[in-house]
Each structure stands twice: as structure tokens, then as C-alpha cells.
Amino acid sequence: MAKEAGYIAARGAQKGIARTTDDLYTLKAITVTGNFARFKYKLTTGG
């Protein structure tokens, strides 16, 4: 639906780190809070 509406990418509801090989309409994401150590951990471990 996002593609049909003219968007070039969309974020899905799945948690994780988006990779360059991922489908641009099912991109994953992680929650970023004020805890930088936790954010860095998620980046290095994938979740």
C-alpha cells in the first residue's frame, strides 16, 4: 500500500536493525532512548 501511494520506503512494526539488503518497504527499527550504552548494545548485537 505504501508503494502504491508513492512512498519510496516504509517502516514495518518489526524490531531490529535495517540492513542495506532489506526490502525498503519492510524496514526494521530499534527504539532509541536517552541510554546511549543500551543503544550501542542494540546496534552491535542486533537487538
Tell which wins on pLDDT, 47 or 19: 19
What value does the mean pLDDT take over residues 15-38? Answer: 83
Q: Which domain holds residue 21?
A: 11-45
**Total count of domains within the chain:** 1
Cell of 43: 546496534
Q: Residue 14's pLDDT is what?
A: 81
Measured between alpha carbons, how far is 10 from 34 in angstroms, rounded to an integer? Answer: 25
Residue 2 inside a domain? The answer is: no
Residue 36 inside a domain? The answer is: yes
Beta strands in 1-47 (DSSP E): 11-15, 27-29
Q: Residue 38's pLDDT is what?
A: 83
Longest Cα–Cα distance of the chain, Å, equals: 39
- In the chain, the amino acid numbered 9 is A
Task: Please say whether the beta carbons of 30 and 15 come within 8 A.
Answer: yes
Residue 5 inside a domain? The answer is: no
Cell of 24: 525498503
Q: Residue 47's pLDDT is what?
A: 65
What value does the mean pLDDT take over residues 33-38? Answer: 83
